[in-house]
Structure 1
Amino acid sequence: MAAIHPFYDAHRAAMEAAMRQRLDLAEPMLRERANLPDPDGIKQEVMDEFEIVLGQMPYVGGSASRMSDFFMRLIGFMAIGRVLRRHGVSLAVIGEIERESFKAQLLMVPETERLASGRQFMSRENQALLREQAAKSRAEEYPEDFVYEFVEPGTGDNFDFGINYKACGFCKFAARHGDQEILPHICGLDFEAYATRGIRLERTQTLAGGASHCNFRFSRLEPT
């Protein structure tokens, strides 16, 4: 088994706790939708697979790269997908379980905190940081990292700003480890991640779907 990079090892306890919480939230769906009679056994199998995934995670700059957080928050879904596929669960059901358990986990954070995080993401200060990191990403210092560009809205556009991902760390990971089949589920989690923070994400294409880039467009959700 590959050694875990020291940066991820330092965050390991928090990542494992998040995975256990996610699996607890998914347990009813494992029984009812995936028809798995031993969810405790499945949960342990996922945690064992997560140990393997941790050793496979590429280092992309640690705390200096915003994409490290994306890997740490979402890479565990690769472990869930792998285990459920081995148990014959359909891709559609796997996608439902991963999306709904992720949303339930996000909603455990108080609304005030989630919306404050959304406002920070949409702020001018963060947009400036995104421009800076997008420029750095194109140097491709870390081969397994994301490569992206910041998109300014043009005349007639109805978004605040956008990001075009020209290369995706999750796509690279999936290609390296044979996870292409479950890769689209990771893409689907983005909508929940932003909506629960009061942000509308519009995206019409993805690298995982064969496009030249992922076209993320962000705007503020109107209060309901």
Structure 2
Amino acid sequence: MRHRLDLAEAMLGEHVHPSSIDGIKREVMDEFAIVLTQMPYVGGAESRMSDFFMRLLGFMAISRVLRRHGVPLSVIGDIERDTYKAQLLTVPEAERLAAGRQFMSPENQAFLREQAEKSHQEQFPEDFVYDFVEPGPGDRFEFGINYKACGFCKFAARHGDKDLLPNICGLDFDAYATRGIHLERTQTLAGGASHCDFRFSRLRSA
């Protein structure tokens, strides 16, 4: 989290007074401690979604603090996306692309099918619920996931952060692109749709 804030410092300086930056960074770390106590338990290491919460809920802390300082939500989104991409790119390219190949592998697709079926048991109320999607005739994606319930949406509704959700959703594209994966998504639960339609394919350069 401190690394993220260091990466965000230059962009923060464009939107808040430079003398405020150190105080804002301290506020974010304090808010992050609060977010950690609010983070729901969704199965620990047994659930792939635990990692999503751990990686992305920190941005809720950044968003809350910047919102309090009057930074527009669209600017907050730009800061977070650029910061997240910069952080992801600190991982060596070979390692990132290897992770992308593993995500797209038949073995991982089989794992995702199992996890999708398990999610419908709704063992943990704050968890995600989703379906694995096989490509049909004429489809250009390799596989997809339809999220029917979103842990971030539930978290945001509980803590008054629903206006921050589009920024969290926007982080997904760089998370996959930096690993050589193209994400196509036309709708989200946060935007009022019945589900989030994630569709995955390999970037040609990967």
The two structures have a TM-score, normalised by structure 1, of 0.91
How far residue 183 of structure 1 moved from its aligned partner, in angstroms, is 1.0
Match in the other structure for 2:14: 32
Match in the other structure for 2:53: 71
How far residue 35 of structure 1 moved from its aligned partner, in angstroms, is 4.5
Deviations 1:175-211 (A, max 9, x none): 0000001111110000000000000000000000000
Secondary structure in 2 matching 1:212: coil
Deviations 1:26-84 (A, max 9, x none): 00111113445321110010000000000000000000000000000000000000000
In 2, distance between residues paired with 1:87 and 1:37? 13
Match in the other structure for 1:118: 100
Match in the other structure for 1:55: 37
In 2, distance between residues paired with 1:158 and 1:37? 50
In 1, distance between residues paired with 2:163 and 2:205? 36
Match in the other structure for 2:70: 88
Answer whether contact 1:34 1:93 (CA < 8 A) is retained. no
Answer whether contact 1:114 1:196 (CA < 8 A) is retained. yes
Please give the residue correspondences for 1:1-224 in structure 2 after superposition, counting only pairs within 5 Å.
19-35=1-17, 37-223=19-205
- Higher mean C-alpha deviation, range 56-65 or range 27-36: 27-36
Percent identity, aligned pairs only, is 77
Match in the other structure for 1:11: none
**Matched AA of 1:90:** P
Matched residues, number: 206
Q: Which runs of 5+ in 2 are unaligned?
A: none
Match in the other structure for 1:7: none
In 1, distance between residues paired with 2:14 and 2:185? 31
- Higher mean C-alpha deviation, range 35-44 or range 120-129: 35-44
**Matched AA of 1:66:** R
Q: Which runs of 5+ in 1 are unaligned?
A: 1-18
In 2, distance between residues paired with 1:95 and 1:175? 19
Answer whether contact 1:62 1:68 (CA < 8 A) is retained. yes
In 1, distance between residues paired with 2:56 and 2:25? 17
Secondary structure in 2 matching 1:37: helix
RMSD (CA atoms): 0.9
Secondary structure in 2 matching 1:140: coil
